[in-house]
Amino acid sequence: MPCIALGRFDDSFSSGSIKAYIAEFISTLLFVFAGVGSAIAYNKLTADAALDPAGLVAVAVCHGLALFVAVAIAANISGGHVNPAVTFGLALGGQITIITGLFYWIAQVLGAIAASYLLKFVTGGLAVPIHGVAAGVGATEGVVMEIIITFALVYTVFATAVDPKKGTLGTIAPIAIGFIVGANILAAGPFSGGSMNPARSFGPAVASGNFAGNWIYWVGPLVGGGLAGLTYSNVFMNYDHAPLVSEF
């Protein structure tokens, strides 16, 4: 059974930890810039893009590709979490200390906010789209949808990137993670918005000044990510001790 470790502040401010936070900031910024940017671009090029199936595919593909790259470029530095829900799942699974995880959260959220404001600036002040549940979908349904799809994401992270038994499978972890995000957006986008990432939803909310329903994209992903971390680490992984950081 994994051990959830609180950690120490001196460890969380080591040179390696600072580099990890910077890597998470940069990767999250690049991911959100590309992902949210794809939605802005499609809205600019087409009318009523939110209801256009081609728009959904374009946004899903962009998010999948962007996350693949964002995870890959940070994997050897910070583990390439790029998502508070992933960090939370890894903390509950004994892969990162609570204190270090909190600083990961800060870096991820700041990266998402910076990306959203950069998009607002470089697009000449175009609206930054936020996540929201579709008409006819209630908050409860939205939360459940986000729990399910984030569970799938974090479970994939554990299976392909964290599990010591992964072997050569680890080399395709960023691709698998990008693919599951793209697939989940195709499935959940028309209903809950398909976030799976509190930072990805929070950054645009800050830039737009609209926090309506934003809590859905914290509660759902954190519950789903936490459940995946607890499930995979307790059922499929064995430990003699808990690692301090994820081994991507």
Find the DSSP H helices in the chain. 9-12, 15-45, 53-74, 84-92, 98-122, 139-157, 173-188, 198-208, 216-235
Report the C-alpha gap between 80 and 191 in whole angstroms.
28
Q: Is residue 239 part of a domain?
A: no
Alpha-carbon distance of 48 to 212, in angstroms, equals 21
How far is CA 89 from each of CA 41, 95, 127, rounded to the nearest angstrom? 32, 9, 32
CA separation for the pair 140, 129 (Å, rounded): 22
pLDDT score, position 51: 56
Q: Nearest to residue 221, comparing CAs of 153, 139, 125?
A: 153
Q: What angle do CA 82, 120, 113 make, to 5 degrees?
A: 30
Q: Give the model's pLDDT for residue 64.
A: 97
Q: Is residue 102 part of a domain?
A: yes
Helix axes 98-122, 15-45, angle to 10 degrees: 40
Q: Is 22 domain-assigned?
A: yes
Query: Mean pLDDT per segment of 10 residues, for the chain of length 248 residues?
Result: 81 92 97 95 70 84 97 97 98 96 98 98 95 96 98 98 92 97 96 97 98 98 98 84 47
Domain encompassing residue 65: 7-234
d(CA 54, CA 189): 12
Q: What is the pLDDT of residue 247?
A: 44
Tell me, yes or no, whether 240 lies in a domain: no
CB 196 within 8 A of CB 83: yes
Q: Residue 183 to residues 167, 190, 197, 233: CA-CA distances in angstroms? A: 24, 12, 15, 24
* 124 half-sphere exposure, CB direction, 13 A CA radius: 2
Kindly state whether residue 63 falls inside one of the protein's structural domains.
Answer: yes
The verdict on residue 246 lying in a domain is: no
**Is residue 182 in some structural domain?**
yes
* Residue 247 lies inside a defined structural domain of this protein: no
Predicted model pTM: 0.93
Whole-number Å distance between alpha carbons of 59 and 187:
12
Domain count, the chain: 1
Three-state DSSP class for residue 126: coil
CATH code of the domain in which 74 resides? 1.20.1080.10
